[in-house]
Amino acid sequence: MNLETRLQVIEGRILEACERSNRPRQSVMLLAVSKTKLASDILALAKLGQHAFGENYLQEAIEKITHLADSPECPSLTWHFIGPIQSNKTRPIAEYFDWVHSVDRLKIAQRLSDQRPRSKSPLNIFIQVNTSAEASKSGVAPDEALELANNLRNLPNVKLRGFMTIPSTGNQTEQLAKEFEICRQLLRQASKLDSDINMLSMGMSNDLDLAIEHGSTCIRVGTALFGERQ
């Protein structure tokens, strides 16, 4: 399958999941996860109308972001950082990205806010929640997520938009649904603090349909769009 066909297949899955859950198509953002993929693949997808891209590895991402920003044929893109964040890497993240999905500590959010260039609008952030309670996973524990949300609200140059999760792998539908619902409940609570806290970053190539049925507003799709990663 080529890129255009894959994009159409995903679009069909999004539409069906939206229909099943009585949601408008515009309520779901497709984030194309382009880690390990070439700038030329990103450009090809951008020309098909896909403008939001997610990256995990900072050095690789910055090379692609600057290359495409200099390319006259590339439309303007929005960049989402979705990988684990080391505190000594926050400055380039705050400078190059528009969204960050993987904030799980106040210290990281403070650094992002301090280092966000004043010429840019506040950085949109998600709190990553460890919904599967696996020790190896990053993310804040669900019972600490609302406190973190509340503390983040005082930071001037980041804007909390919602919650993100990477669910456990190889699991049954019921277990995945349970993990998605943890984030959905957190959003119900946090949205009372601020109506701009209204997003859920959940769902990847294999489970985007289920995630949409459980309220996802941003699906992060790599393999199903670009093919297997090397």
Residue with nearest beta carbon to ligand PLP: 222
Residue 105 DSSP label: S
Closest CA to 164 of 126, 220, 192, 198: 126
Choose the binding region for ligand PLP from 60-68, 149-157, 174-182, 218-226 (rule: CB under 6 A): 218-226
Answer for which of 56, 78, 138, 168 binds ligand PLP (CB under 6 A) is 56
Of positions 142, 167, 215, 222, contacts ligand PLP by CB under 6 A: 222
- For residues 92-151, which are near ligand PLP according to CB under 6 A? none
Distances (CA, A) of 51 to 43, 44, 132, 138, 212: 9, 11, 31, 27, 20
Query: Smaller CB distance to ligand PLP: residue 94 or 204?
Result: 204
Q: How far apart are CA 142 and CA 188, in angstroms?
A: 13
219 in contact with ligand PLP (CB under 6 A): no
The footprint of ligand PLP on residues 169-208 (CB under 6 A) is: 204-205
Identity at 87, one-letter amino acid code: S
Q: Interface with ligand PLP includes 221 (CB under 6 A)?
A: yes
**Residue 223 touches ligand PLP, criterion: CB under 6 A:** yes
Q: Which residues of 60-84 are buried (b: 16+ CB within 10 A; e: fewer)?
A: ebbebbeebeeeeebeebebbbbbe
Q: By the criterion CB under 6 A, which residues form the site for ligand PLP?
A: 33, 35, 56, 82, 166, 204-205, 220-224
